[in-house]
Amino acid sequence: MKKPSSTIFRNCLTIILGSFVYSVAVNDLLLPHQIGEGGVTGLTAIGYYALHIQPAITNIVLNTIILLIGFKLLDKKTIFYSIWCVIWISFFLKMPSILHYHTQQTLIPAIIAGVFMGIALGLIYRANGTIAGSTIIASILNKYFGIQTGTAMLLCDLVVALPSGLIIGTERMFLTVIELYISAVVLNIFNNMFGAKYSLKIITPNVEQMSAALSDQLKQGITMVHTHGYYSGEKRAMIYIICTKKQVAQLFPLIEQIDPDAMIVIEQVHSVAGHELNMLK
């Protein structure tokens, strides 16, 4: 089923906002204080420091190559939004400085840039996009191996950030690592707050009533898993649901109302692919 035009429009606007915040972090905090970055952005910074190549040019060239690699491994929706994101980041990188902030205490811009980067990436991921570069690799690791996006990005970015010390110096290399770590933490927090998925396993004797109520509340199908109790020998269906954190809060009062003694297991899901099996309509 195709997404409504309003959803696509909202995602495109969200990506533009995330691209703007990301570019502000690069133009106003990283480059003026000679702090590096990871992934493609780190390579653009190195190119800027060593060869005076405009970051917008490096960003487009390198990300085009990586997008061609990700084209076969990621869905076309993600690729489309990623191309949209790369275009806007390249556009905003050509804009002049906005904050005009400069300080000798380089730890401060490293921390602020990390927060900005984490929020920017959270917005872009929330809209089903990536900034290409290492985020394409992080998306692949998340999709196929279940590694949290922020953690996967940190691992990929360190591959570029650590050798950058040969150009920007050891001190600024350490500042880069600090910035990357803060960015990864903020991104994971952002995803946990707004985009995390949770799995609910519910065991109750009131299976039919519980399933019907939950399905009506969520407006979706409910997956039933057949279980067998080792001690009691009793066969019973277990209710299995994938939902958001907000939906978890909505379901708990309903579950307690139907069966206060129901056994509930909640786990955070790091990666969800495909659609939930709608075994009970």
Per DSSP bridges, beta strands 197-203 and 223-228 are: unpaired
What phi and psi values does residue 201 have, to the nearest 5 degrees? -115, 120
Q: For residue range 185-243, what is the model confidence (pLDDT) as tens digits?
A: 888 788 777 666 778 888 888 888 888 888 888 877 778 888 877 777 777 788 888 87
State the architecture of 197-269 in CATH terms: 2-Layer Sandwich (3.30)
| 32 or 193, which is more confident | 32
Q: What is the pLDDT of residue 106?
A: 83
Over 50: is that where the pLDDT of 1 sits? no
How far apart (Å, rounded) are the C-alpha atoms in residues 248 and 191?
Answer: 16
Going from N- to C-terminal start, the domains of the chain cover: 5-194, 197-269
Over 90: is that where the pLDDT of 255 sits? no
Which band of pLDDT confidence, cut at 50, 70 and 90, is reported for residue 270? low
Angle at 108 between CA 22 and CA 36, to 5 degrees: 50
In the chain, the DSSP E strands lie at: 197-203, 223-228, 235-244, 263-269
Which band of pLDDT confidence, cut at 50, 70 and 90, is reported for residue 150? low
**Radius of gyration over alpha carbons of the chain, in Å?**
22
| 63 or 262, which is more confident | 262
Over 70: is that where the pLDDT of 28 sits? yes
Least trusted range by pLDDT, from 17-21, 245-249, 266-270: 266-270
Over 90: is that where the pLDDT of 145 sits? no
Return mean pLDDT, the chain.
79
Burial 36-63 (b: 16+ CB within 10 A, else e): bbbbbbbbbbbbbbeeeeebbebbbebb
When pLDDT is averaged across residues 236-263 and rounded to a whole number, the result is 83
The gap between the terminal CA atoms of the chain, to the nearest Å, is 18
Q: For residue range 38-93, what is the model confidence (pLDDT) as tens digits?
A: 777 777 777 777 777 877 777 778 777 777 766 766 677 878 888 888 889 889 98
